[in-house]
Chain A
Amino acid sequence: MLDIRRISNSRWWHKKKNWVFFGIFLFLVFVRLSKGSIYKDFYYFISKPFWPGQFQKEIILKSIDQESFIKLNLLQRDNIRLRDILSLQKSTNKDNISAAVISRKTGSWWRQIILNKGSIDGVEIGSSVVGPGGLIGRVSNTSLYTSSVTLITSPESRLGVWVDRIQINGLLVGLGNDYPSLILYSKDTDIKVGDFVSSSPASTLIPPNIPIGVVQSINETFNNSQKTAKISLLAKPHVIDWVQILKAKI
């Protein structure tokens, strides 16, 4: 009569099944609070093999490439036609000469490279030299089998360039370091860091529209009548092993 205590193993927390349910409940609360992110991430992994994916991406990229190629061809043809009308200088791929860099002086007092093609291969003094990225320099001297190129980083180098965004011509001057200086002869020009610099369409020394570099910094306090900018070159002469010599008709 006095023994009214329950048997100990009849308590709810002694049952494993209850704890399992409690665990599931807690997990669902977490899922609810995290707004289903675990499910979404789980779905991300299991659905990955079935995405419209790689194959379709390749097809689209190929189409974009083809479209760009066609556009480029049309623009090139337009460009040649317009340059013919204006009687401006032009360069064609037929006149390019591939050459290897056999000596490189890109630091110290000298900024020059020597190429393995010379006058016997048709290289002429004044030809422009481009590498992966853009313009590197101009041929200053040729021997029978070699040609020496003055880099655009050399203090000897002075080139007319074009800043496309603000449609203005400037002068690119080598300073003897890796960053030539762009001089714009107007204090009010709105040049910005990141602006793209290419060879000037008005230049008589180099073919037009060859990429050169981007503006890295602007020096505001140089002169009252000028604005200068430090240019980071797209082509890196200290690592390039092969270049193209463009035979421009000047």
Chain B
Amino acid sequence: MNKFFSKNLPMISFVSVPVLFLWHPNWLGFLGAQPNWSLFWLLPWSMIHGSINGLIFGLFLGLILDSITLESTFTQIPGLILCGVLFGKFKLKSDTLVSHFRYGLICSFGSFLCGTLNFLQILFKNFSDITFLFFIPSIQNILAEVFLTGFFAPLICSQLVRMFKFSKKKVQS
């Protein structure tokens, strides 16, 4: 049983991303926004397995998250694919402290990218009847999400990187 868990840790954590997304714990939120949970998983995965894997799992995550949300005005797939490819370009560093902060910075950037793409899609789709009032909550959402994602990324991503590396070793051995 332990062996099964240690080998399949990445997939088990992958399944937990939509669960966290649905759970939406308010006590972790800021201005009604939540951290971008999918990026916490995608960053370690892409860093270890490369851009192509990042692209594929970005697409998978996007498909799952889109299916559990109702909004048809935008999709999360382009943002997650882009992040998956981009995160794959970053290499793991041996310096623990620097890499901790790097996770935060990279995830913040990824969150900004995803948020901006969401916003642009909504803007494009509702271009005719959108009011300036719509911009305020959208920008607030992007900024709150960027802050929260950057804040939690060093904690979560470093643990996930360790877990994924361990799991990769187990699979190879």
Contact = CB atoms under 8 A, between A and B. Distances in A.
Interface string B38-55: 000000000000000000
Contacts of A177: 136-137
Interface in B87-123: 115, 118, 122
Scoring A110, A112, A148, A150 by chain B CB atoms within 10 A of each residue's CB, the highest score goes to: A110
Contacts of A155: 71, 73, 122, 126, 134
A105 interface: yes
B138 interface: yes
B32 A107 contact: yes
A91 interface: no
Contacts of B34: 107-108
A112 B29 contact: no
Interface size range of chain B in the complex = 20 to 34
A114 interface: yes
Given A155-B126, A175-B134, A108 B71 contact: no
Contact of A108 (B22, B32, B70, B136): B32
A109 B24 contact: no
Contacts of A109: 71, 74, 115, 118, 141
B133 A107 contact: no
Nearest to B129: A173
Given A155-B134, A177-B136, A141 B70 contact: yes
Nearest to B23: A103
A175 B133 contact: yes
A236 interface: no
A110 B65 CA distance: 11
A106 interface: yes
Interface string A136-179: 00001100000010100011100000000000000000011110
Interface in B58-83: 69-74
Contacts of B70: 110, 112, 140-141, 148, 150, 154, 156
Interface string A231-242: 000000010000
A222 interface: yes
A24 to B, nearest CB: 64
A109 B70 CA distance: 11
A175 to B, nearest CB: 5
Contacts of A148: 70
Contacts of A228: 131
B137 A176 contact: yes
Scoring A109, A155, A222, A238 by chain B CB atoms within 10 A of each residue's CB, the highest score goes to: A109
B61 to A, nearest CB: 15
A90 interface: no
A108 B145 contact: yes
Interface string A62-104: 0000000000000000000000000000000000000000011
A108 B141 contact: yes
A199 interface: no
Contact of B24 (A105, A141, A176): A105
A200 interface: no
B72 A222 contact: no
A114 to B, nearest CB: 7
Question: Closest 5 A-B residue pairs measured CB to CB?
Answer: A107-B32, A177-B137, A103-B22, A108-B33, A176-B137
Given A108-B144, A228-B131, 12 more contacts: A103-B23, A105-B24, A106-B32, A107-B29, A108-B29, A108-B141, A110-B69, A110-B70, A112-B70, A141-B70, A154-B71, A176-B141
13 contacts: A105-B22, A106-B32, A107-B31, A107-B32, A108-B29, A109-B74, A112-B69, A141-B70, A155-B122, A175-B131, A176-B134, A178-B32, A238-B32
Interface of B: 22-24, 26, 29, 31-34, 69-74, 115, 118, 122, 126, 131, 133-134, 136-138, 141, 144-145
Interface of A: 103-110, 112, 114, 140-141, 148, 150, 154-156, 175-178, 181, 222, 228, 238
